[in-house]
Amino acid sequence: MAYELKMPQLGLTMEEGTVSKWVKKEGDAVKVGDVIVEITTDKLTNEVVSEAEGTLLKIVAQEGDDVPVKGTLAWIGKPGEAVGGAAPAPAAAPAVPFAPAPAAAPAKPAGDKKIIVVGGGPGGYVAAIRAAQLGAKVTVVEREHLGGTCLNIGCIPTKCLLHSAELVNDIKEQGPDIGVKVSGVEVDFPQVIKHKNEISKKLTSGIAGLFKMNKVAKVDGEAKFVAPGKLSVKKADGSTEEMTADAIIVATGSINAIPPIPGLKENPNCIDSTGALSLEKLPKSMVVIGAGVIGLELACAYAAFGTKITVVEALDHMLPMLDGDLTKIGVAHMKKMGMEFNLECPVQRVEKSSVGAKVVCKNKEGKEVAFEAEKVLVAVGRRANTAMLDLDAGKLDNDRGRIKVNDKMETSVPGVYAIGDCVMGYAQLAHTASAMGEVAAENIMGIEAHYDQKTNPTCVYIEPEAASVGLTEEQCKEQGLAYKVGKFPMAANGKALILNGGEGVVKIIAGKEYGEILGMHIIGPRATDLIAEGALAIGEEMTLDEIIATIHSHPTVTEAMREAALQAEKRAIHTSNK
């Protein structure tokens, strides 16, 4: 009898999975180890491989079907061989239903509310799921990719490149010191890009699974306002439909800003961050225009791969969102990686070059200087992606396309909300958009919620990575606050010494009288993970004493957090109290 391909149990709590894509079709030859089908469970997509050789005789579960663990997916065998049942077993009921609205929430209004979310990025899809959990009928309009910039051409792909780069750098730089000698380390750049694509695909297809789980509908198309609270959606098939709902959430994100530099658009070797994440060949040299987060993260990745990096910046400083002490350490490391920085050096024009492109700048002495490279990365920031929405027709108050909202994410039009990068006055970060999405959904469904940015961390994935939450020392001085500072060098932390040689610092800023945590700033190993302790401390109005009273495990980098708090109170054990 033919071999029965069954739904595997891909996690301890998994009870069913969704067939997202058949890689093989009926009649195809199959070998042991061949990928047959892709299964979505929760937020991940997994590949199911064959344990038998033969022909794919019959596909039982179709794309989109939910199949319980050990349910039949397909049959593999010899042509003409008998197969078993023709349909998958009925899906098992989930062991635990999705959590209802919190007990404190008011009863839902009579009837289901209808909500349209414009945009399926980290703000839009989170808002959609939260609203659906609270009982709304939700439709997401997305013109391109679920997951938005973050999952497809932003946060996740960039971190994939940075992880590959960090591994290369560790092997080359740290390997000999820790007794790991590797000769002939090579960067297989096409494979770097392939790995990045695979990770993005897993996460984006997982969102589709979450939508199905929460009964969120998706429309492929582009929306625009035709009146306050009324949308016209041009669908992928070319048809147009007018749509209205009890509430609309605008979550269209942002796009790369392109400065009006003469010669920039005409030169194909000038790319933005999207282009930098999809190059087919590793460039030998790159000029980066802009010394902000996006430009420096990608610069660090390419520098580690071996690309010669030259950064040009019109301002006299870099990474203004970070505390000055962190920036100094980060810049010093990047220079050690071979990166060259040119501050107060605004770009005048881009010219053709036999190498690729020539970037002509004016330095602080007023003289023209030129930098040539195979590629020019333009990373001068992002702007709200609202041009297609026709905000004027929707009567939405905005500042040059950035939608104005209050802390409940309400716009100037009742029933219309906006979240994420497309709004005015907030950090353009994926986790910011997600938090705003939950706030908007809860307010629509009758649960009062407010967005509070004081616990919102900023993470910068340079080398070493940096993270910051709350007030910087510079901001405390500007506001005239009485404060005290505690610092602990990573060089005095055992785990940090093991991980990166002890490069970095933890810095805590607290109120002078009561010791309440005002800001926490970290550069070094695991900084972007550790910063959550600072956000929690600020959100819960914790003091230095409370951090000190919390036992931090050893040996970990987290010990540096407690040590910094001790140093602020002149009680440091493992460093000077001066």
Catalytic annotation, residues: 554
Spatial contact of 148 and 119, defined as CB atoms under 8 Å apart: yes
Burial class (CB in 10 A: 0-12, 13-18, 19+), 431: middle
**Integer Cα distance of 299 and 317 in angstroms:** 16
Spatial contact of 291 and 318, defined as CB atoms under 8 Å apart: yes
- 358: tokens are 């020539």
CA quadruple 408, 410, 415, 417: dihedral sign: negative
**For residue 466, which of 298, 317, 322, 304 has the smallest C-alpha distance?**
322
Query: How many Cα atoms sit within 13 Å of 535 on the Cβ side?
Result: 17
Q: What angle (nearest 5°) sits at the alpha carbon of residue 62, between those of residues 59 and 65?
A: 135
**For residue 322, which of 468, 118, 439 has the smallest C-alpha distance?**
468
**Helix orientation angle between 189-213 and 155-169, rounded to the nearest 10 degrees:** 140
- DSSP E strand stretches across 143-271: 217-227, 230-235, 240-244, 247-250, 254-256, 270-271
- 97: tokens are 């239903």
**Integer Cα distance of 72 and 86 in angstroms:** 9
**For residue 418, which of 388, 392, 387, 396 has the smallest C-alpha distance?**
396
- 255: tokens are 């796009």
Spatial contact of 305 and 270, defined as CB atoms under 8 Å apart: no
**Integer Cα distance of 358 and 344 in angstroms:** 18
Rg (CA), the chain: 27
What is the distance of C-alpha 337 from the center of its chain?
25
DSSP-based three-state secondary structure for 416 = strand
| Main-chain phi, psi angles of 425, to 5 degrees | 90, 10
| Main-chain phi, psi angles of 239, to 5 degrees | -80, 160
